[in-house]
Structure 1
Amino acid sequence: MTAPAVPGLICAFGFDCLGRGRRLAEDKIAYPPAGDGEWLWLHLNFADWRCRRWLSETFGFPAELANRICDAPVHQHVSAWEGVLFGHLADFRREFDADSTEFAWLHFALGGRFLITGRAKAVQSAERLRQVIGAGLSFANPAGLLSHLLSLYTDVLDTALHRLSDELEIIEDHVLDEHHRGERKRLMLTRREIAQLHRHMRAMRRALQTAERASIPTPGGFALTAARLSNLDQDFADMEARARFFHDEIDAKLTAETNRQLFTLSALTAAFLPPALVAGMFGMNVEGIPFTGSPWGFWAAAGLCALSSGAVVLYLGLMDRS
């Protein structure tokens, strides 16, 4: 069956019996494939609502299954429907200028002779998979292709883990060197990224493990991905604990610095309060002010101010030693 127009098509690859992939033009997409052992990978943009009808007409999906595959999910999951494995898992959003760690949804449907992936926003794993197929990497079946797709997600997670760990080490060096004034905001951004990655990673691991406990037939690569995510889970938990500790350390240092500044300000206030009182008394416009007729009256008043300040400073010094 040939489909001259595929709504939402991003890329399509046909694989021969040896697992070698070749890119297909839109008018060359046929399901089921003509040759024995051949199968398809289609990557679609599910923002195009016509994809639902096309999936139903081309692959024979019931309307409910096509809707469940294409609809925007609320959580990560892996399910099965009469021999079709489908689900929604986490991926990273792909930007035109650079890769990011922003969350994006990856939709998939796996059958014996096809793998359909879809998204509403561009994802990194599908683009990386297209590149490795173009480089000549072969896959025995659609299940192996999907397993490799999930491994690409964990590769990006592992890279992000090392990058964030290096970032925390730089922040730690600055905190220990007392150069922590600009590190609070930097640490907050790092903690936010760690928490987001950890949250989505745990959700994916939970989805894969739930499918395994429910005896849903999944590719062998799913178990390997779940095991790798379990190892990364502990690493991310350790990083979150380190980031929280550094945050507390920065807060403690800022609090200590603020206390020192407040103590200095309080000491200056206390030192200048008695002279201000003396100057205020001598500045009153009333009869009987001492030294008004004396040529050395100003110096007597200045001496009283200095003496009162010296007494306060001496008192503060004695208090600090006790």
Structure 2
Amino acid sequence: MSGFGYRITDGKAERVSVKDALTCHADLVWVHLSTTEAEAQKWLREEARLNDYVVDALTATETRPRCEQFGHGALLNLRGRSTEPATTGDPLASVRVWAIKGRVFSVTRKPLYAVDAVVKEVEGGEVRDPGDLISEIATAITEDLDPVVADLGDELDACEEKLDPSAIFELRRTVMRVRIGAIGYRRFLVPQRTALEKLAQLPGDWLAEDDRLHLAAAADRAARMAEELESIRERAALLHETLTDLRAEQIDHRSLVISIVAVVFLPLTFITGLYGMNVDGLPFQHSAHAFDWITIGCVLLGAGILGYFLRRHWFRH
């Protein structure tokens, strides 16, 4: 079984095996599993002897942030960044938690940065009870996500500052990536805020008042990030429309230039085609200077047409 356990008494943490954690007596016993669904279900049912409903919630394949009271404990599902590469549609990995007085069981499918941060807090003596542990997990997740959200905003700021028609394709790729990232993160942060707020209000003596305050602070931070992501999404959509308009203007200008060139050469093509016919009666047909006069006439005609368009400012962007 992949995972670890901690026995905490008076703030002093001792790392133990998953198997030994079940027989420990302490202020808090934390068991964390990082394993497949089948292995976790078997251990939680047969070894930990948890309720089937709790086991199913801890090992569900598809999850979203939520909080639910069950008996004397609480089921909590949060999302945080994983140390493994994330997919575009699911950028955050889940951590599922079952907390009762004196014990906390957590399950992850992928390793999370937040779990590593919580382990350091536990070993540093900052965790004394289930409430402390839950609030540390929530705080670590939000603190880890905060700079990521800020980076998305900074990338969008940079795109807005260097809005240049010559870099449209590069900018559009960046804006699209930022927009997809904002949508993916926001999809989980909005219900995560609700879950943390609900947990902070649950009855139970295993949640101290300071734990509830920390959970409320984490919920507020999640709400702020969700609002920032919504702003980023709207700004990205607006910037994408602006880039699309710039691209359309670019295409229109190039099409105009091509059309003007075609208009300039259309009468010249007619004249050269006319004099290319092998018939009698063409002006200057037998003149020794016919080529010179026709060439001069074509140049003057082309210059006159081009000058007309220049005077009307048809070449401006």
Residue number in structure 1 paired with 2:62 = 73
1:158 to 146, 166, 171: 146
Residues in 2 aligned to 1:120 and 1:54: alpha-carbon distance in whole angstroms: 15
Residue number in structure 2 paired with 1:105 = 94
Displacement of 1:163 in angstroms is 1.5
Q: Which moved more, 1:203-212 or 1:19-28?
A: 203-212
Displacement of 1:216 in angstroms is 6.2
Sequence identity percentage? 18
Query: Per the alignment, in what secondary structure is the counterpart of residue 49 of structure 1?
Result: helix
Residue number in structure 2 paired with 1:29 = 21
Q: Which moved more, 1:106-115 or 1:38-47?
A: 38-47
| Structure with higher RCO (Cα < 8 A, 6+ apart) | 2
Residue number in structure 1 paired with 2:277 = 284
Asked whether the 8 Å contact 2:66–2:78 carries over to 1, the reply is yes
Displacement of 1:232 in angstroms is 2.2
2:160 to 163, 166, 172: 172
Asked whether the 8 Å contact 1:174–1:180 carries over to 2, the reply is no
Residue number in structure 2 paired with 1:4 = none
Query: Per the alignment, in what secondary structure is the counterpart of residue 105 of structure 1?
Result: strand
TM-score by length of 2: 0.85
In the alignment, structure 1 segments of 5+ residues that lack a partner are 1-6
Displacement of 1:302 in angstroms is 1.4
Change (3 A) 1:132 1:211: closer
**After TM superposition, which residue ranges in structure 1, 4 or more long, deviate above 6 angstroms?**
none
In the alignment, structure 2 segments of 5+ residues that lack a partner are none
Residues in 2 aligned to 1:285 and 1:208: alpha-carbon distance in whole angstroms: 90
Residue number in structure 2 paired with 1:267 = 260
Residue number in structure 2 paired with 1:13 = 6
Q: CA RMSD in A?
A: 2.6
Letter in 2 for 1:77: R
**Count of residues paired in the alignment:** 304
Residues in 1 aligned to 2:257 and 2:203: alpha-carbon distance in whole angstroms: 68
1:84 to 73, 87, 91: 73
Asked whether the 8 Å contact 2:18–2:31 carries over to 1, the reply is no
Residue number in structure 2 paired with 1:313 = 306
Letter in 1 for 2:93: A
Residue number in structure 2 paired with 1:3 = none
Displacement of 1:46 in angstroms is 4.1
Residues in 2 aligned to 1:202 and 1:172: alpha-carbon distance in whole angstroms: 27
Residues in 1 aligned to 2:67 and 2:294: alpha-carbon distance in whole angstroms: 87
Query: Per the alignment, in what secondary structure is the counterpart of residue 144 of structure 1?
Result: helix
2:116 is the alignment partner of 1:124: no
Change (3 A) 1:212 1:43: closer
Query: Per the alignment, in what secondary structure is the counterpart of residue 182 of structure 1?
Result: helix
TM-score by length of 1: 0.84
2:220 to 209, 227, 233: 227
2:261 is the alignment partner of 1:246: no
Letter in 1 for 2:191: A
Asked whether the 8 Å contact 1:89–1:107 carries over to 2, the reply is yes
2:84 is the alignment partner of 1:95: yes
Displacement of 1:90 in angstroms is 1.3
Give CA-to-partner distance per residue, 1:79-119, whole Å, 9 cap, x none. 122112113221212139xxxx9211211111111111111
Residue number in structure 2 paired with 1:187 = 175
Residues in 1 aligned to 2:20 and 2:299: alpha-carbon distance in whole angstroms: 97
Displacement of 1:47 in angstroms is 0.8
